[in-house]
Structures are given as structure tokens and as C-alpha cells.
Structure 1
Amino acid sequence: MDKLVKEGSLGSILLHSQIITEQELQAALEEQQTSGIRIGEALIKLGIVTQEDIDWALSNQLNIPYVRLKKENIGREAVECVPAELARRYNLMPLFLSGDDLSIAIADPLNKDAIRAVESTTGCLVTVSVGLIREIREMQELFYGAEIVPASFGFSSSLFPPKIIDNINADLSGAKLLDYLLLSIVKNRLSSVSLQPVGDSVLVTGRATGVTKELGAFEPGYYPELILHIRRMAKMNGLHETSARGVLAFRLKGRTLHYQVCMLRGEGGDYVTIKLHLSSTFPSTLSEIGLSSEKEAEYRNLAAIDKGLLLFSMRDADERCRLMDLYLDERNTQGQTVLILGNNVGRGKKKFPRIPVSRNITELSAVIMATFDHDPDIIVIEDATDAYAFIAAGKAAMHGKLVMAGVSFGDVPVTFKNLIHYWQKNYFIPTFLKGVVSLKGLITLCPHCKESYAPSREETAALRIEVPIADCYRAKGCPACEHTGYAGRKYLMGLIAFDSSMLEAFENARDSTEIVKHLSGRGYRGIGEEALELLVAGEISPEEYAVSIIY
């Protein structure tokens, strides 16, 4: 059960304090996943604990004072330091002020964002005590006055008709605003819509043809409710994670459109980006990628190696893991021992023993070294980007193992820039490096509704190509593509085998530029070159080329 919650989290503390059982924690986690609420709220909603139970456990386990709030124990100077809106947003109450030291009572002492916000606003060093949320709210009303609840969501925009704005503002959950934003993406052919907490407001922006424009704004009072609604719709977990992604469905004129939702935690609330999600399954076989015969032969050669270090270099962690799974599915592993080190890799057709690893880099490198005792033939490392993990991966390859290591370096120049740096630091021996594999999925334009246009000088410069393109293409959307403007996703693969020629070029190179020149001299066609051909042929838009290849 400890694997389901992080050490030091509220769920872990309550479990270790024996206030809840493993079964009760599991039920609360399922409720959290369904409703998008915090774990403490889920436990209270299910009747498993009271707020007092949570407060006591946090105070006892974290050695934080537990206080009962009374009017006579609260200093007016402390209250004047902290704005009412800030106190209500984070469920906290100022207690007393002594010089630059401010003491507060807070319902959730684990909320680091709250503590940072108070310190940033007041300029004081904050000392935390745990308080009952009921008493905190009573003191807030007593010292700050009754909370004024606006009768409107507070959205304003010059782009929407007044009737639609009234309709949006009548729904305090923000669901109507979300519906109209999803509709705007399709009707106005926006590549994305973003919600950006900035100071005392949340900006709503739309992006099209590489330009971001403001669509409107609203006050942050009901932003948490809107975020919870989006999380429920997109089935997003990870309330305490820095970033999260999900997909939500939206019905429009009898058909279902899917949108990708991306969130980043930030001051004042989550930064949200929503864009059309093109439903496309990742290739399950090598033939589905559509490689040239020459490139497929190169891939088969890499799939036949039995020892050495093979790198899978991609920034997108999810697609990188899928590519590693595809490699395992395509190669012969019969009679071999394969160990998976990671939480997301190893989800392909074949099943192998999995060793979960934490984000602690020192622990990961220790786990890699510990696998030697079990004499595996293949070691699969989900993410070996960090130097310590990379060193351990290199040592495993030196022991005669085939090491499949994921790294988040990205394109060819950046990958070799990092590899040259690691070699100069003596982190690995190039002789044991067998190859670098990468994959990129590009969204192709709908052939039925794409239209040509002459790109501007600025747009051509942004593409960073030697020979300017006379015509570029964009799609406006049509019934054939369900008004998305897209036909599907095409995957391009980059393959660099470390043969004797490549090894010599690497060892003699002063920087990654010389590596790129060597590859070009060999007639190498990587992802960038193939993507440029798609751009020239009008199969992808300039925006897709820029986002996927350049930036």
C-alpha cells in the first residue's frame, strides 16, 4: 500500500498513525480519482475520518503544534499583514506577529504553496501550527468580516456576445466557460486555449498561426472549482504533482471531439492548456511506422545486438517508453532474462519482471548496480538522463549486458552535445555505445481541406531552413476530418548505429556540430530531414514543423 502514496503525504501519515486502514486508504484513493478532490477531502466525504483526526495526525506525525483558535489568542497586527482573500484561499489564519516572524494556523500544513504565498506577500518568516478548519473559518469571519460571495463567475470578454457571457457567468462551476472555450477551439481554428493565473485575475488566451491573443479574463475566486471540473472531465490524477495530462470528450453536433488537457502547478493556481487531441494509437509493430527498407534493415541490426548500451533519446517520456516497449516486442528475447527498471516502461506485449524505482537518482543508480547480482541479459532503464544513472548504465554495459536506456536529450545535436560532455567527464566509454534511437509523431493535415498560402518573411525565418518554401499549407477543417483539420499522425524514426566509422568520428569530434557534419557526409536522413520533406510536400503545417522539430 505504501507504493500507492508518497512517504510524508497525508495518506501515508494517517496510515502510519493507524487512524485509517489500507482498505480505507484504497477507497479514498479511488474516490480521489473519480471526483478529483484532495485525499483528505475524500476521507472525510467517505466518513472514514473527521477533520479533527486529520489535524491531530498531521500535528503529531510532523511535530507541528496543534492549536485551538480563540479570539483573544489572535493579534490584530498579524491579521492586518495577511489579506483576507489569501487567508480564505489557503484556509489559514494569522495568529501573532513578532518582528519579521509571523505565526499562522493552517488546515493543511503540507501545503507549501500556501506558506510561500504568505511569505511572499508579508515578507515575513512563517511559523506553522495546525488548526481546525471550522475554527479557522470562524476566526476569518470574525476578523475579516463575512465573505462576500459574488453572484457571477466574473468572466469578461469583448469577443463573446453579451448573452453568452451572461450564460457563462451564471454557472459558478465554470462548466459553461469550459464548453464555450472547447467550442471556440473548433470554430475559430485555434491550436490551443490556455488559462493563465496572473496576479488578481485568470487570463484566457487562444493561440492560432503561432500568435497568442487574449480571449477574456475572470477573477480567481471560482478558479479552483473550474480546475476540479476540468480534472474530473479529463480523468486527471496527480493533485500534488508538478504537471499532469489527460483527455476529455466533448459532444458537438452529434459527434464526439477529444481534447488534450495539460496542467502545470503555479502560484495562484494551475496553468492549463487545452488543445484538440487527435486520437491515434502508437504503432504496435515496426511495419506500422512505414520505414524505408534501408532504415528498417538498420533497425533490425540494432534489434539483434546482445550487449552494449542502446539509447532511446526522446523528450516525450510517454512515447519514449512506448518505443522501448516496441523494441522489446520486435526483438527475440526467448531464453533471456529481462529486468525492467521503471514504472511506465515495459507495458508492451511481452511481460517481464519490473523493479519500481523512485525519483531519487542515487537510489536508481544503486538499483542498476544491484541487478548485476541477478545476471540479467537485458536491463531496461526508463530514464537514465541523470549523470549518476548514466554512469551506472554504462557500467552495466561494460559487464556484458544489453542496456536499453531512455534519455530525454531530444534531437541529434543536443543528444551528441550531452554524450560528448559525458565522455569528457569519463562517465562512459564510447566503445560500448551501440546506437541511438528516436521517434517523433507529427500531425498530418487533412488532404480534403488543406489550403496553400505564401508564408510571411517572419514565418519563413522562424522555420530556420536554408531554402525558403514558396507555399505552405494549413487546414480549415471539414466533415471528413471532423472539423479538426488533421488526417492523422505520422511517425518518423531516427537511427544512428555506432559502427567503427561513427565511433571514430565521435572520439575525434570537438563538439556536436562536427558529428552532424559527419552524419550528413554519410547521407544520414534523420527525423529533421524527413520532417522537412513533409513540410515541403504540404503534409504538415509550419506550426507542426516548428513545434515538433525546432523548438
Structure 2
Amino acid sequence: MEGVIREGSLGNILLKSNIITEEDIKAALREQQALSCRFGEALVSLGIVAQEDIDWALSNQLDIPYVRLKKNMIDPAAVELLPSVLAREYNLIPLIRAGDELNVAMADPLNRAAIEAVEKATGCQVRVSVGLIREIREMLDHFFGPPVEPVSFGFTSTAFSPRVVEIVNADATGAKFLDYVLAYFIQSRLSVLSLQPLGDSVALLARRGGVSRNIGQLVVTHYQEFLLNLRKWCHSGNQTASNIRGIFNFNFRGQGHAFQVHMLRGLGGDLVTFKLHISASFPARFADLQLTGEREAQLRRVASGSGLVIVVHRDSDERCRLMDLLLAETDTSGKSVILIGEELGNGSRGFPRIPCRGGFHSECHGLITAALEHDPDILVIEDATEPESFIAASKAAMRGKLVLAGLDFKDMGSTLRHLLHFWQKHYVIPTYIRGIVSCRRVALLCPNCRKPMELSEDESAALGTHLPPGSYYKAVGCPECDLTGYRGSRYLLDLIPFDKGVVDAFEAAADGREIIGHLDTLGHRGSGEDGADLLKSGDISPEEYVTSILL
């Protein structure tokens, strides 16, 4: 399975432990693609492993011991060191004390606030193990007795009726809580709803018209469990990442609403923010980019024949969508195509895909070399930023292949500096580069509620730009745009075709700015010029222009 699963990955740990087979991995990868879920969830969904196996493997990934709890392995004297309220609040139980060290089983071993609370209450240094939340609660009931009061989600609020609060608190998973607060979001036409951990409680804040107010509180007892559930509900990927985002689809009175969910790990739990998802469907055809006839023809020439096409974007999802678009508009009839990457291949055509993780510690360069043995006409590489991967992609282009290579850079300037470095090291030949392609997404103001604004010199300076003072437009929010102030989005293209003039300028340049200057003398247009036109016409705000175009 070399090249399919990484050393130290969840699949690799389970395979080496003889818990799953290579055929199980292949089946789970297919299920993962079909359901857009995590690899571990796919294994559980297929019935190949139990959740306990996944928890054990995750503990290996985090290098934290994993324990299956039994009564005889827990020292009652250690349990007595901790108040039952604190143990239930953070879903943990002491196992044994050895001198000044206290071993504790926790459902969330990354909850630093819980560890600090135990250390403060016991005066001991805590050593953490991973335990199942179900088994931890069984042990808590055994040693402390059942909770004096029925289990409650711990929600209090005056913004909801007592009956609604009762219904919410009867469901410890947080599903009812989420249903009611998102319904409140829609009915109250909020712009933002957030959950903010404050130590011993979690504040529920609602924002509308630029003003935030507290509409409720949660105790932290079930907050970690709710966060785990929320990650599953919005298919947010890596459970251990510090910054997670996803989409939660919510049905209210027969109408679907998509919410952006942003989760930022903090002490005592994640900071969670809900916003209505602004429609941003990626262009399906070149025509959807609204290019001039000349620029569309340039783009088609770049994505044809053989050579190296460099696709640049900091956001891997957007970069993969752009590469899928280029591939969809390329003539592939009678040609062999191989995709190398995790997220490629979501276009209308199906091609073989080889899983690979990019970045500066990837095995991508080895997979590129291996793929060439299968003699493809077109090779698409999700992330060739790592030097060896980029060199391998360049060599593939020199062998007569059309190579679409993704690079993780923020703009054309940094990409050109990268290429110049490799040119000076003799790792790339400019005549084999067909061009550089990138794009930027801008949120369009709602035409129904946008309002003119005067930008003063001080406000221009605060934006960190040289926008001339004058009349612009800003977002306000209305029922037509669900109070977001925006109605859809548009993608702006950056394209540098490597024709003879650009190649000559590239070979003579000392840095990327000289090449950009050469293009400016030729009247080159990119996302900067297109964005400036949208700013002048009132389709985007000054803030959107600065954050999406200039920064």
C-alpha cells in the first residue's frame, strides 16, 4: 500500500496491528470518497472496525496512552482526590496516584483547561490517557454514584421559552440545542452566532446590525461531547486540528440553509462561529469566468499541448477546483490522464487518482516518477510546492507531458520568485513553462441594500492602502440577502502566458518585480485591475477589495 497510506497515519497503524487489511483500506477509501467523511468514519460505517479501534489508533497518532476502563484498574484513593462535579464536568476519571503524579483517563486529552483544573484541585502533575466517554461515565457512576439530578445539557437562556430550554436540556448530545439556536438565527435574521468558552461556562452570543448580545449560557459538562458531534455533523475533517471549518446543512420549515461553521481550539473548548454560507459555486466552464475573448483564448492555449502549467492558490480547495476546471476544458479525447492528490477529480470527467499528501514532507515526487512509468499524456499534481516534487513535475513536462502543477503561494510575485530560484539553480527551463494561472474570489455586494459611503483619508490609511478618498459602497444587509449584505461571488483570473516575450523577460530578470513591470508595460490585466473595476462600479466594498485582492 506504499503511496496510498502514510507512515504513522490512522490506516497505517491499524494495518500494522492486523486490525484491517489492504482490501479494507481500499474499501474505506472508496467509502470516504462517496460519503465525504474521514477515513476512520468510513471504516466504522462499513463495519470493518469498532469506534474503540479508531480511538486506540488516534491515541497512537497523538502518542497518548489508550485505556479500556475496568473497575479493578482504578484506585479509589485516586478517585477521592477529585470532586465528582469536576470529574463529570470534564468527562474524566483518576486512575492511580504515584507520588506527585496523577494518571487520569479523559475523553478529550487535548483539553488543557481540564488538565489545569485537575492539577489545581489535586496539587498533582497530571499524566493523561485516552478513554471512551461511555466507559468514563460508567466508572463515574460506579465510584461517585448516579448524578443527583437528571443529565442535562446545561443550557440557560431568557431568549427561549422555558419549554424550549427544557427540550434542549433533555438531549445531552446537543442536537436539539443546535436545531433551536439555528432556527433562532434565521428567525431573528442574525449575521453571526457564536459559542465562546469562558472557563466554567460557554457564552452564546448573537450578532445583528454590528451589535452583539448574550442570549444564553452553557455549562461545560457536555460541551466537549457537543464539539465532537458538531465536527461529525459538518464533516469538518481532522479532529485534532486547531482551526477547523465545515458546512452544516440545516432544514427550517421545508427550506434548506447552509451554515459556515468555524471552530478554533482554545482553553476550555473550541470557539465556534456560525454564519450563513454565501453561495460561491466555482465556475464550471471558462465562460463562467466572464473573460474577454482574447483572455479566454490565451487560457485555452496555456492549457493545451505539452509543457508545465503552474496553478497557484493558497487555499488547496480553490486550487484543486481551478485545476479541475482547466482539465475539464482541455481536450482529453484519446489521451491518458493521471491525477496525483487527495482532492482532485471532482470535475465532470473521471480519471485515475493516486492519493498523496502535499507539503514539504510529502512523497509526491516519488509518485510523479512512478506515474511516468504508466506513460500518461496529462499529469495533474495537487501540490508540487515541495522542491523535489516541483523538479519532478518539471522533468515530466520536459518529457513531452502536459503537467498541471499546483503551488501553495499567495500571488504571482512570490510564484515568479520561486521559479527564478529554480531557473538560477538549473532545475527548470523557462521554454517548457506554458504559463501561470491563479484566481481570487470576491464577495459581491447585495444590489438591493448596498449603500454609498464616503472614504476619508484616515479610513483609507486604516485599510493600509492607497485608495483615493471618494465614494464607494458598503454592505448593509436586508431580507433579500439574509442580512449578510452580500449576494453571490465572482472569481477573478490571473494569467501569465509564457510566450517568447515573457520567457525573454524571465531569463533576463533579477527578481519577480521586473517581470511584473514588463507585463505592466504590455497592458497586462489581472485580478487587481478587474477588482479595481468592480470597486469603482460599486459591486464590491473597499474592505473586500483590500482583503481579497491586495492582501
TM-score relative to the length of structure 1: 0.77
SS at match of 2:389: helix
User: Which is worse superposed, 191-200 or 116-125?
Assistant: 116-125
Q: Is the contact between residue 344 and residue 353 of structure 2 (CA under 8 Å) also seen in structure 1?
A: no
Q: Is the contact between residue 234 and residue 246 of structure 1 (CA under 8 Å) also seen in structure 2?
A: yes
Provide the C-alpha distance between the structure 2 equivalents of 1:338 and 1:379, rounded to a whole number of angstroms. Answer: 6
Q: Is the contact between residue 477 and residue 486 of structure 2 (CA under 8 Å) also seen in structure 1?
A: no
Q: Is the contact between residue 192 and residue 207 of structure 1 (CA under 8 Å) also seen in structure 2?
A: yes
Provide the C-alpha distance between the structure 2 equivalents of 1:267 and 1:280, rounded to a whole number of angstroms. Answer: 33
Q: Is the contact between residue 384 and residue 405 of structure 2 (CA under 8 Å) also seen in structure 1?
A: yes
Q: Is the contact between residue 338 and residue 378 of structure 1 (CA under 8 Å) also seen in structure 2?
A: yes
RMSD (CA atoms): 5.0
Match of 2:408 in 1: 408
Match of 1:346 in 2: 345
Match of 2:168 in 1: 171
Match of 1:474 in 2: 475
Match of 1:93 in 2: 94
The one-letter amino acid of 2:532's match is L
Alpha carbons of 1:400 and 1:148: their partners in 2 closer, same or farther (altered >3 Å)?
farther
The CA deviation at 1:409 is 0.9
Alpha carbons of 1:414 and 1:539: their partners in 2 closer, same or farther (altered >3 Å)?
same
Provide the C-alpha distance between the structure 1 equivalents of 2:435 and 2:231, rounded to a whole number of angstroms. Answer: 40
The CA deviation at 1:37 is 11
The one-letter amino acid of 1:93's match is P
The CA deviation at 1:287 is 1.2
Match of 2:315 in 1: 316
Match of 2:385 in 1: 385
Alpha carbons of 1:52 and 1:362: their partners in 2 closer, same or farther (altered >3 Å)?
closer
SS at match of 1:544: helix
Q: Is the contact between residue 209 and residue 543 of structure 1 (CA under 8 Å) also seen in structure 2?
A: no
Of 93, 113, 123 in structure 1, the residue corresponding to residue 110 of structure 2 is 113
Q: Is the contact between residue 445 and residue 474 of structure 1 (CA under 8 Å) also seen in structure 2?
A: yes
Q: Is the contact between residue 64 and residue 130 of structure 2 (CA under 8 Å) also seen in structure 1?
A: no
User: Which is worse superposed, 311-320 or 457-466?
Assistant: 457-466
Establish whether residue 222 from structure 1 lines up as the match of residue 222 from structure 2. yes
Provide the C-alpha distance between the structure 1 equivalents of 2:275 and 2:346, rounded to a whole number of angstroms. Answer: 27
Establish whether residue 444 from structure 1 lines up as the match of residue 444 from structure 2. yes
Alpha carbons of 1:454 and 1:90: their partners in 2 closer, same or farther (altered >3 Å)?
same
The CA deviation at 1:299 is 0.9
Residue correspondence of structure 1 range 498-509 to structure 2 within 5 A: 498-509=498-509
Residue correspondence of structure 1 range 510-529 to structure 2 within 5 A: 510-529=510-529
Structure 2 gap ranges (5+): none
SS at match of 1:320: helix
Q: Is the contact between residue 192 and residue 274 of structure 1 (CA under 8 Å) also seen in structure 2?
A: yes
Map Cα deviations across residues 459-479 of structure 1 (whole Å, 9 max, x no partner). 533162432342313242244
Alpha carbons of 1:153 and 1:408: their partners in 2 closer, same or farther (altered >3 Å)?
same
Q: Is the contact between residue 313 and residue 439 of structure 2 (CA under 8 Å) also seen in structure 1?
A: yes
Provide the C-alpha distance between the structure 1 equivalents of 2:89 and 2:48, rounded to a whole number of angstroms. Answer: 24
Q: Is the contact between residue 84 and residue 140 of structure 1 (CA under 8 Å) also seen in structure 2?
A: no
Match of 1:286 in 2: 286
Residue correspondence of structure 1 range 38-77 to structure 2 within 5 A: 74=75, 76=77
Alpha carbons of 1:204 and 1:146: their partners in 2 closer, same or farther (altered >3 Å)?
same
Alpha carbons of 1:426 and 1:70: their partners in 2 closer, same or farther (altered >3 Å)?
farther
SS at match of 1:113: coil
Q: Is the contact between residue 235 and residue 246 of structure 2 (CA under 8 Å) also seen in structure 1?
A: yes
Residue correspondence of structure 1 range 152-231 to structure 2 within 5 A: 153-155=153-155, 161-164=158-161, 167-168=164-165, 170-172=167-169, 173=171, 174-175=174-175, 177-179=177-179, 181-182=181-182, 191-197=191-197, 199-205=199-205, 217-227=217-227, 230-231=230-231
SS at match of 1:495: strand
Establish whether residue 537 from structure 1 lines up as the match of residue 534 from structure 2. no
Q: Is the contact between residue 443 and residue 489 of structure 2 (CA under 8 Å) also seen in structure 1?
A: yes
Alpha carbons of 1:329 and 1:462: their partners in 2 closer, same or farther (altered >3 Å)?
same
User: Which is worse superposed, 463-472 or 37-46?
Assistant: 37-46
Alpha carbons of 1:87 and 1:416: their partners in 2 closer, same or farther (altered >3 Å)?
farther
User: Which is worse superposed, 253-262 or 530-539?
Assistant: 253-262
Alpha carbons of 1:179 and 1:425: their partners in 2 closer, same or farther (altered >3 Å)?
farther
The CA deviation at 1:124 is 7.9
Q: Is the contact between residue 304 and residue 402 of structure 2 (CA under 8 Å) also seen in structure 1?
A: no
Q: Is the contact between residue 201 and residue 220 of structure 1 (CA under 8 Å) also seen in structure 2?
A: yes
% identical aligned pairs: 39
SS at match of 1:487: strand
Q: Is the contact between residue 103 and residue 127 of structure 1 (CA under 8 Å) also seen in structure 2?
A: yes
Establish whether residue 366 from structure 1 lines up as the match of residue 369 from structure 2. no
SS at match of 1:221: coil
Alpha carbons of 1:136 and 1:194: their partners in 2 closer, same or farther (altered >3 Å)?
closer
SS at match of 1:365: helix
Alpha carbons of 1:398 and 1:91: their partners in 2 closer, same or farther (altered >3 Å)?
farther
The CA deviation at 1:501 is 3.5
Alpha carbons of 1:547 and 1:82: their partners in 2 closer, same or farther (altered >3 Å)?
farther
The one-letter amino acid of 1:327's match is L
SS at match of 1:247: strand
Provide the C-alpha distance between the structure 2 equivalents of 1:458 and 1:165, rounded to a whole number of angstroms. Answer: 49
TM-score relative to the length of structure 2: 0.77
Alpha carbons of 1:426 and 1:256: their partners in 2 closer, same or farther (altered >3 Å)?
same
Provide the C-alpha distance between the structure 2 equivalents of 1:282 and 1:325, rounded to a whole number of angstroms. Answer: 10
Residue correspondence of structure 1 range 264-283 to structure 2 within 5 A: 264=264, 268-283=268-283
Alpha carbons of 1:423 and 1:478: their partners in 2 closer, same or farther (altered >3 Å)?
same
Q: Is the contact between residue 463 and residue 543 of structure 2 (CA under 8 Å) also seen in structure 1?
A: no
SS at match of 2:278: coil
The one-letter amino acid of 2:440's match is K
Structure 1 gap ranges (5+): none
SS at match of 1:454: strand
Q: Is the contact between residue 55 and residue 132 of structure 1 (CA under 8 Å) also seen in structure 2?
A: no
Residue correspondence of structure 1 range 238-277 to structure 2 within 5 A: 238-239=238-239, 245-251=245-251, 255-264=255-264, 268-277=268-277
Q: Is the contact between residue 64 and residue 129 of structure 1 (CA under 8 Å) also seen in structure 2?
A: yes
SS at match of 2:195: strand
Provide the C-alpha distance between the structure 2 equivalents of 1:77 and 1:187, rounded to a whole number of angstroms. Answer: 49
Q: Is the contact between residue 31 and residue 42 of structure 2 (CA under 8 Å) also seen in structure 1?
A: no
Map Cα deviations across residues 399-455 of structure 1 (whole Å, 9 max, x no partner). 333221112212233433444555566654444333111122323223233322334
Provide the C-alpha distance between the structure 1 equivalents of 2:512 and 2:294, rounded to a whole number of angstroms. Answer: 25
The CA deviation at 1:534 is 1.0
Match of 1:464 in 2: 465
